[in-house]
Amino acid sequence: MPPAGRVVVVGASAAGLAAAETLRREGHTGAITLIGDEPAAPYDRPPLSKEILSGAWSPDRLPLRAPADLDALDLDARYGCEAVGVNVSARTVLLADGTEVPYDGLIVATGVRPRLLPGTPAHVLRTLDDALALKDRLGPGRTLAVVGAGFLGAEAASVAAGLGTHVTLLEPAPVPLAHAVGEDVGRILAQVHLDHGVDLRAGTGVSEVVPGGVRLDDGSVVEADTVLVAVGSRPNTEWLTGSGLTLEDGLVCDEFCAAAPGVYGAGDVARWHNPLFDTSMRIEHRTNAAEQGMAAARNLLGAQRPFAPVPYFWSDQYDLKIRAYGYLRGHDEMRIAEGSLKERKFTAIYRTGDRLTGVLSIGMPPKSTLAWRQSIALRARWQDAVPTSSTGVAA
């Protein structure tokens, strides 16, 4: 790409903003167009299911940067503007209003959107408007059905219960989050919901949303004033259909985050090959979005460095702080390296094949995971990294 070429970043997200900032920091002097379908400048999303939903924060704390800092980037910012297509050969992005925006380099950071259920429209939780609309429905005397006990659903359930709402949490898997953290840790998190008065129903599928509640797979109805659907998300790639770019549960990219010459992906929408774990992954976590946005920008400018992070995520549920590093999905074994499951204060480590691939802590100080993170980054073998005193727990 020419040093003063025009870069178009589609997605006014954490990843998109990180990409734009990195371009300027690395000396790019050409035009940068930042396109976002929401009318607001980039804002932080993790607080939506925590501080915004609980009322601990007001919305004015969400913007990722102050207006003056955004102005300093000298962006051609187009908020409330939807990209509907891209012509890779002509190097143009088509907007919903018919405008064509030319580019020398393109960074796709369009994120994801919530999956929906059939039937009556229900609440979802992805945007600030979503969070504020749901917040207005919570409190003493209110009832909420949350469909999906993944991290988003679990966080929303914990906040709602803390506000005095009667919460029914419905999850099709026998143990919530077992696919991500293992059955033993999943059972601990499930019990925390029960201890806080949530009516958790694992192994319960929902077929549709109905007026006044949800219909279960067995035909019965769970009544609720409000329904929140938190059953995962879909990457926003429809606008790329017909472009010639490879789309498979995200925009498929190589280890450099490149999807095609001059086209890079970043954040929740990007499926890339992570050479550290030698697998393709798409990560929907805030830290990864910013890191990948920076990596995509640098590689667009010619750095050509593989993006090989140790993924990180955190979750706040009731009084628990959950932190994890690595790639825990599909693990073969979990062990407790420190602390106790029973006391809900522990550090768990995860094996995939012969390698240490993940660490998760609950109720422990941040430093309890840092040495394990370093071992994961160094591709440590399990038998070399794990103390013999660790408690083995089958995955």
Query: Per-residue pLDDT tens for 95-125?
Result: 999 999 999 999 999 999 999 999 999 999 9
CA pair distance 106, 393, nearest whole angstrom: 46
Q: What is the pLDDT of residue 392?
A: 54
Q: DSSP assignment, residue 42?
A: P
Q: Is the separation of the CB atoms in 362 and 322 below 8 Å?
A: yes
Q: What are phi and psi of 320, to 5 degrees?
A: -100, 140
Closest alpha carbon to 334 in 388, 393, 251: 393
User: pTM surpassing 0.85?
Assistant: yes
The one-letter code for the residue type at 249 is D
Query: Tell me, what's the pLDDT at 394?
Result: 43
Quickly list DSSP for 236-255: S-GGGTTSS--BSSSEEE-T
* pLDDT of amino acid 26: 97
pLDDT of 393 = 52
- State how far the Cα of 91 lies from the Cα of 275, in Å rounded to an integer: 29
Q: How far apart are the first and last CA of the chain?
A: 47
Distances (CA, A) of 341 to 183, 312, 376: 12, 21, 22
Quick one: 367 exposed, middle or buried, by C-beta within 10 A (0-12, 13-18, 19+)? exposed
Contact criterion met (CB below 8 Å) for 285 and 180: no
Positions in the chain whose pLDDT score sits under 50: 394-395
Q: What span, in angstroms and rounded, lies between the C-alpha atoms of 270 and 280?
A: 10
Question: CB pairs under 8 A, 24+ apart, for 362-365?
Answer: 362/185, 362/188, 362/320, 362/321, 362/322, 363/320, 363/321, 363/339, 364/323, 364/338, 364/339
Using the Cα atoms of residue 196, residue 199, residue 201 and residue 207 in order, give the sign of their dihedral.
negative
3-state secondary structure of 148: coil
Alpha carbons 258 and 388: distance in angstroms, whole number: 42
- Of 315, 107, 360, the residue nearest 193 (C-alpha): 315
